[in-house]
Amino acid sequence: MTKLSDDRKAENMIGGDNEMMGLKNHCVPLIFDCPRNAISPKCPFAEIRTRDVVDRVNWVKAKTMQQLRSILKHHSDCIERGAETTTEKKAR
């Protein structure tokens, strides 16, 4: 059995498993593409999108609940701001 970090133990004690799965499920599509089809140097997913699929999935798996919340907050804020953070559009 793997020893859980203190952060993960706390998440499990307060029913964090369901929230953690929800956060990870929300992140998975974002490790492959931006819903705005944009590239922003400030995007926490920008660098990870250059890695192979296994590395991307492992990156999400390694994040704590707090890290995922922060990353998704940044993503949500970026979507709300729109094109002001976009430095380049990807060609499709």
Number of domains in the chain: 1
Residues 6+ apart with CB under 8 A from 31: 45, 48, 49, 56, 57, 59, 60
**Residue 35 falls inside a structural domain:** yes
Q: How far apart are CA 12 and CA 84, in angstroms?
A: 38
In a domain, 57, yes or no: yes
pLDDT band at 3 (very low <50, low <70, confident <90, very high): low
Q: For 38-85, what is each residue's pLDDT tens digit?
A: 878 888 898 899 999 999 999 999 999 999 999 999 988 888 887 444
| Predicted local distance difference test score (pLDDT) of residue 39 | 77
SS3 57: helix
- 6 occurs within a structural domain: no
> Is the pLDDT reported for residue 12 higher than 70?
no
User: Is 61 within a domain?
Assistant: yes
Residue 68 counted as domain residue: yes
Residue 4 lies in a domain: no
pLDDT value for 11: 47
Domain that holds residue 76: 19-89
Any domain includes 31: yes
pLDDT on residue 36: 83
Q: How far apart are CA 20 and CA 65, in angstroms?
A: 6
Is residue 25, in this structure, part of any structural domain at all? yes
Q: Which residue from 58, 63, 80, 50 is spatially nearest to 20, judged by alpha carbons?
A: 63
